[in-house]
A and B are shown apart, each in its own frame.
Chain A
Amino acid sequence: MAVETISLTHTYAVGTAFEFTAIKGVTFKTLAHEFIGIIGHTGSGKSTLIQHLNKLLTPTSGSVIVNGFDLSDKKMPMKEIVKRVGIVFQYPEYQLFEETVYKDIAFGPTNLGFSKSETDFLVREAMDFVSLDFEKLKDESPFDLSGGQKRRVAIAGVLAMKPQILVLDEPASGLDPVGREGILRSIRRMNKEIGISIFLVSHNMDDVAEYCDRVMVFSKGELLLFESPNEVFAHADLLESIGLEVPQAKKVLLMLKERGFSVDASFYTCDEAVAEIARCLRQAKPC
């Protein structure tokens, strides 16, 4: 599903001493099935933006259009919106509340009015997608699981609602390297196999470089760039000036280039960088 915003602005606590405009005049248009990355310094308005995508926040001015429907339209009930746009918040494990993993994941689909057998199918499918063993874990209490497993259960709880747009606010923060890769891989699979559009908020440039089709760069509530990772990471100086950096792999290439190696520094994923360095070394060393 495509998402569009038109000069979207949000001001918190209007009319008090604490008034603060968190996002200003944000306009963009995404395509269906796209994997979008959202990066920006802490406090730049990323979480504020994503809460507009399922009407948890209403714009102070401007509008949000999801799949051609203006969300400010009163005729669109909240249930219809959350059915299409699923949001996984920062540290989603804090939203678990049921006695068993199964019941917790089934909460969303049940609210949306799916039947028992449909819900059962959806729960199995969602658990499978985030690599949780259905038979082993369905009757466990979610509070007895490890941090990474809780995170997966929470993500499965949103996935089970079959959203066509999935928004994730730092889904991998605070996990070990294996855990973070597992979760990000699952997200990519949802994108590639079922065609869910993804919005991924991340502080990790390597993840963004690896997974995203296009990247939004926010600074102080404004959308500075919205381009492919290749183009975004070409603006190394700009990124640095707003408190961000380029992926590690690209950093290495840039440093090598600075020291006089003839590498092409436009690559930004780890695999590409390795290949490029190997090529350069082979070329430099006369056999």
Chain B
Amino acid sequence: MNDITVGQYYPVDSPMHRLDPRTKLKGVFLYVMGLFFVNNLYGYGIAFILLCVCVACSKVPISYVLRSLKPILMVIVFTSIINLVWTQGNVVWQMGFIKITDSGISLAANMAARLVLIITGSSLLTLTTTTVALTDGIEMLLRKVPLLSKVSHEIGMMMSIALSFIPTLTEELDRIVKAQKSRGADFESGNIAARAKAMIPILVPLFVSAIQRASELAMAMESRCYTGGTNRTRMKELKYRPADHLSMTCLVAALAACYFTKALV
């Protein structure tokens, strides 16, 4: 159960951790967008170095950063294989009906590189930003979006509540599974139908307690006269510092460099 780590914050103090969450959010957004314009080795090289510098600045151990790739490793391998064998082009290698083409190789390499960089980059965001800061940042950024500005606070609040429920529910799930196992419930054998049925003794109590918790929280908020929205002030105002402007400038410069590598090839 402990493998479920959403918002796997790594608690150290680093320049990366101290950046404004908005800077990091915008940075990741730009980085991911930027990657889609890259199509050559030099470009990926620069993007890779940029990521390495960020990881180094974050003081998060490499093993932690790479761990985020584990769940999608299969996806990467699978898409690479599909791209490799399904793309038309000049055949460079053939065995039976399997043909591997030059454009297949380049497409597969492109996709794999992009996926790895995107996932690692965005997991660096969650590794260096607490969920509270993250939702604050999202809320502030949404204020600038025309249609969403009215409900930005509600969206931010909903996200932070949902995120804060995850560890509680994981714990609850663990408790319920153990209790039902002690009553002889068997989750490991039988066919799919039997296994789905075996989930009922877990899901019913889990939903009951989730709904109960949610309504208790709503009651607690209401009894303290919570109203979201316009006139709410906050204890920690988000403020851009020189480091934020500096890192944003560097990022944009690096991404521009990535883009113009096109001219080189």
List residues of A whose CB falls within 8 A of some B CB: 13, 16-18, 51, 54, 56, 78-79, 82-83, 86-87, 89, 92, 94-97, 107-108, 111-112, 143, 157-158, 161
Contacts and interface: CB of A to CB of B under 8 A. Distances in A.
Contact of B182 (A54, A94, A96, A143): A54
Interface in B185-229: 185-186, 200-201, 204-205, 208-209
Given A94-B172, A94-B176, A97-B200, 5 more contacts: A56-B181, A82-B181, A87-B179, A95-B176, A158-B183
Contacts of B143: none
A51 B178 contact: yes
B5 to A, nearest CB: 10
A5 B112 CA distance: 51
Contacts of B184: 79, 82-83, 107-108, 111-112, 161
Contact of B180 (A51, A86, A95): A95
A83 B204 CA distance: 24
Given A13-B2, A89-B175, A111-B186, A96 B181 contact: no
Contacts of B205: 94-97
Contacts of B172: 94
27 contacts: A13-B2, A17-B10, A51-B178, A56-B181, A78-B181, A79-B186, A82-B181, A82-B184, A87-B182, A89-B175, A89-B178, A89-B182, A92-B179, A94-B172, A94-B175, A95-B183, A95-B205, A97-B204, A97-B205, A97-B208, A107-B201, A111-B183, A111-B186, A143-B208, A157-B183, A161-B183, A161-B184
Given A13-B2, A95-B176, A97-B201, A82 B208 contact: no
A124 B176 CA distance: 25
Nearest to B67: A16
A92 B175 CA distance: 10
B219 to A, nearest CB: 18
A107 B183 contact: yes
Interface residues of B, number: 20
A97 B206 CA distance: 9
A268 B183 CA distance: 36
Contacts of B204: 97
A86 B204 CA distance: 22
Q: Which 4 A-B pairs have the closest CB atoms?
A: A111-B184, A97-B204, A95-B179, A108-B183
Contacts, number: 62
A94 B204 CA distance: 10
Nearest to B184: A111
A94 B175 CA distance: 9
B130 to A, nearest CB: 16
A150 B176 CA distance: 15
A111 B2 CA distance: 27
Contacts of A95: 176, 179-180, 183, 201, 205
B178 A56 contact: yes
Nearest to A163: B182
Nearest to A12: B2
Nearest to A77: B186
A158 B182 contact: yes
B201 A86 contact: no
Contacts of B175: 89, 94
A83 B209 CA distance: 28
A171 to B, nearest CB: 13
Given A94-B205, A97-B201, A97-B205, A86 B182 contact: yes
Contacts of B2: 13, 16, 18
Interface in B1-57: 2, 10
A46 to B, nearest CB: 15
A187 B179 CA distance: 19
Contacts of B176: 94-95
B183 to A, nearest CB: 4
A207 to B, nearest CB: 22
Nearest to A57: B178
Contacts of B185: 107, 111
B64 to A, nearest CB: 8
Interface string B143-163: 000000000000000000000
B199 to A, nearest CB: 11
Given A94-B205, A94-B209, A143-B208, A89 B179 contact: yes
A95 B2 CA distance: 21
Contacts of B179: 87, 89, 92, 94-95
Contacts of B208: 94, 97, 143
Nearest to B208: A143
A48 to B, nearest CB: 12
A82 B183 contact: yes
A95 B179 CA distance: 7
A156 B250 CA distance: 66
B201 A56 contact: no
Contacts of B178: 51, 56, 89
A62 to B, nearest CB: 20
Contacts of B180: 95
Contact of A56 (B182, B186, B209): B182
